[in-house]
Structures are given as C-alpha cells and as structure tokens.
Amino acid sequence: MVYTKHFVVHATWKLNQLNKYIEDATKTTHDVDSPGHLNNLFEYISNDDKTVSKQLVSGHHVIDVHDMAEEFIQTHIFAKNKKGNAKLLFKDNEVLAHHLIQSFSPDDTLTPEEIHEIGRKTVLELTGGQHEFVIATHVDKDHIHNHIIFNAINLETHKKFRWTKSTKKVYEHISDKHADYAGAKIIEHDKSNFKNFTDYQIYNREKSFKQEIKKRVDFLLANSKDQYDFVLKSRALKLDIDFSGKYAKYKLLDEPQLRPTRSRSITKLKKYDGRYDSTGIMERLKDNIVVPDLENIKQIFDSQNQAEVNDFELNAKIKPWQIDKKTNHGIYIDMEYGTGNNGLIFIHNKFLEKNSDGTLELFIKEKDYFYFMNGQKSQFNKYLTGKTLVNQLSYFNQTIPVRKPRELRAIDDLVSALNFLSDNQVTNGEQFELLASKFDDMIAEIKSQLVTAEDKIIQLNLVLKTLSGASSTDEITKSKAKEKLQQMNIDPDTSVDLLEKQAEALVIEKNIIEDKLSEVINDLKLYENIKHTSDKERENDPIKNKEVKR
C-alpha cells in the first residue's frame, strides 16, 4: 500500500548528515492552508517572500530536533555508562539508528500534516514509544514522503532495537494499517526489486513458489499429450523446465523466483518416486488421448485457477462489534489472540460478503494467511492461518463456522475433466477410465463424510434433548436427564444455544454435501450412458472396432 524502505545507520557522520537532510527547509516546508489539531507539532518559519510556512519536522523524546544527532549519540554514551562500557568507543559496524522511509501515491488527497501523522503513529507502534525519533515530511517531489530516524537504544531498557529479517514485514503491515485508516491510496510494490535474499525470503512467506509450480505441473500433466507438448504448454504458463540433470528443475517466469526448484521439492512425498522428472512425466502422459490445444491452454488454466481462488473452505459470521474500522480495502477486526494479547487483523474485501441485513460473512480457505498486529507491542505481531482466524472469531462471537469439505473442489475439477473428454467424444481408453475411477473413489469419500455429518447431528440432538430434560420442572424427568448427561460426559451447564448453533452449522454442511453428491451422481450416470452408447456404436462399426485401445 505505502512504499517503504529501511536503512541502518552505522556512522556518526551519517547521523549528522541525516540530521541536516531531514530538516532541509526547502523540502519540509509548505504554505499554511489547512489548520488543524496537528498545527502545534510543527515550527512556523518565514520565507524570504515573507509568507508564513510550516516546517514539517517533529520529534519524540527529543528536546531539539535540530540537534538530533548529538542527542542520539548522548543516549548511546549514557547506555554504555549504565552497562559499565563507558570506555568503549563506537565500533565501525555499530548500529546507531534506523532510517525509515514512507512514500505515498501522487494521487493521494491526504495533506502533508496527515501523512506526517501516519509516520508518527507507525514508528510509535513499531518501537512501542520507547525510542527517540525524528520525522520529516518532504513535499519537494511529486509524491509526499516521510523520513523517520529512530535511535537504536531503548530509553527504558538501554538495549538495542532488534531488527531481524522479519521486522521489515512488521513495519510494512503497521505502515499500511495507519495509511489505510487515513484513506491513503494503494501503491503496488515492485515484487522483483529485492536487494538481497533476505528480502526474497520475507516475500516468499506469503507466496509459495513450490505450491504454484506444483499446481502448474499437475495441470500440464492432465492436459498434455507428450513431453514435447508438455514443454510447449509450460512456456505458455510461464514455467521454465530444465530436464538436463538428474532431477528436473522448474522456475516461474512471471514471479520473482531467484533459484530454480528441483522436482523432488514440489511434493510432500517422504520417498520421492520421480513423478515430476522426465521419465515419470512421459509415463503419465501416455494415458492422455485428447488434450486442449496450445492456443487455449492459458485461458483454461486461468479459468480453473480463478474458480479455485473463488472457492472457500470456511464460512464464518462477523459481528459488528468485532469490526474496529472499515476502509476502502477491507475491515480491521479487533481480536484477542492469547491472554492479554489484543490487536487487529486486516481482512480484504475479497474475502467478505455483505448480507441484506448489513452483517458480514467471511469466506476463506484454511491455509489463507492473515496478519495479527498488537498495537502496543509489535514483537507479538504474527501470521495466522484462516483456520485459526475463524476459530478465534467464532469463539468470541459465539457463532459456529460452516466448513466446506475440500473434496467438493476436487469433484468440480473431475467434472470439468470429464466434460472435456465427453465434448471431444472420448468415452473409452485409460484416460477416461482413470477419471471415472477417481470419480468413484471421491463419491465414496463424500458419502462417508455425509454419514459422519449425520451422526454428529444425531449426537448433538440427543444431547440437546437430554439437556432440555435436565431443565424440566418435573423432578423425576430432571433427575433421569442429569444421570444420562453424566453417562454421556456432558456438563449440565453446557450452553444449549451454542450446541443448537453447532447443529445448524452441521445441517448446512450436510446440505452442501448432499446437493453436490446428487449433482455428481447424475453427471456420472450421464457419462455412463454416453459410454454405453459409444461402446454399442463401436461394436457395430468394424472400423472403430479395430482401433487400438490405449
């Protein structure tokens, strides 16, 4: 959202240089035209033309912002004295301060004062307010940007701020939150502009190259007729393949992947069987009779990929009191994650659906990632999975999430594959038989899940019935019900309302499974009829009857 940079300040001369740079009047002043509550933060100065301007420089725990460098150095010396290291000189590589930059879109309608305030809130949250800092908002370019210098020494503990490989991401999330709250526009980050492998690794936490490679390779395996066709289509999907070594190597050409990935790394098999190497690929492709043309392969992949993106595994309700802020991009949820660990989680609009009554529902996958931000202690910031987020939300708002079985997504993919074969009049051979076999296995699994869901509903209803008896005015009924609850290991004080919500969620889940199962069984019957008709025609056609079945 907001473009950010970070630099470490090692030398005292650099600190002095930054001191002069950030307070440069030609960069940090603008004419007073928007009075507000921030006015008392800034120094008013008179330019040569006698117009009154505002110098957008402010500090925190700094007596004189113009003497920032000296005050920072004195803090370091004081900290060394407290630790008994007064005689130690500054080392060449010693971290004295951290230099942060926040750049905003030229299309932003925010005032320089508002952008300055975003910077102030960002560094306060990042450091916990325990470090000296100075902020200068520069207005000399087409985009307004903040320069923030904060002392590495903590004023309370005299310890240094630990900037690890993940701190840049913490800084970005905090910066984006405050910018989003203020209404800043989006700036797309240049994902290919990594300065080192550490930056690449941080980005890689959110985008798994291995997972994307496996998705494309699996798609190509199902939609290529031979290895030559496989390689041609891989280029259409921006996937580079190298078969020259013992293991095949894959590299995404439309992502900032720095190193190729070996074939054995894209599967979770404990003992790799060579399925993604040259020999394994050729063995798999020999079963494919009809496949999409090269010209259509990208469109088919994108369509299938979009369907997967739009699909969901978890559906949860969000109560209005859980929403801290609504922005143009999504909502910020107020949530407790662990005792006393309160913070915010941003949920993008793409995961949300607004109901007619104004309430919001969340549709996500278990392995979607969300970022938890503790506004007081940034060291507690962390990523949460979609599954954890839904569990936390539901725990506090006393609602039960609906879970959609993953197998339903796989069923849709199988239906698409069978549709393709049917459209191309392929109703025999191993390619068709393999898919039909998978269909049978998947239907059996869904039927098993359906039985499990039904059993859970029955058990919940039995518990609810018994809890109802335990609250009866008839003492005999009440006594018998409590005995039964004890046998069932159920606390008599269990919330009936919560159990009823669980039962409702299970009924919804069961209905989803039943609808899909009915749809799939009808499709499979249709394919079987088509195959039966095709087999009859083949028997009566002497030419087709001589075709070699693969």
- Catalytic machinery residues: 44
Contacts of 269 by beta carbon, 8 Å cutoff, 6+ apart: none
Q: Is the dihedral of CA 386, 253, 103, 197 positive or negative?
A: positive
Place of tokens 């320089």: 112
**What DSSP string describes 354-393?**
E-TTS-EEEEE-TT-EEEEE-SS-GGG-EEEEHHHHHHHH
Report how far residue 53's alpha carbon sits from residue 81's, in angstroms, rounded to the nearest whole number.
42
Instruction: Give exposure, 85-101, as e/b (b: 16+ Cβ within 10 Å).
Output: eeeeeeeeeebbbbbbb
Q: What is the torsion angle, in degrees rounded to the nearest 10, for the CA atoms of residue 202, residue 206, residue 211 and residue 212? A: -100
Q: How far apart are CA 325 and CA 180, in angstroms?
A: 10
Structure tokens that stand for 463 in this block: 């518990």
User: How would you classify residue 338: left for phi > 0, otherwise alpha for psi between -120 and 50, otherwise beta?
Assistant: left
Enumerate the β-bridge partners of residue 97: 9, 151
What 8-state DSSP symbol labels residue 43? Answer: E
Angle between helices 227-236 and 294-310 (to 10 degrees): 60
Type of residue at 108: D
Beta bridge partners of 4: 102
Task: Report whether 409 contacts 365 (CB < 8 A).
Answer: no
Cα gap 465→474, rounded to integer Å: 15
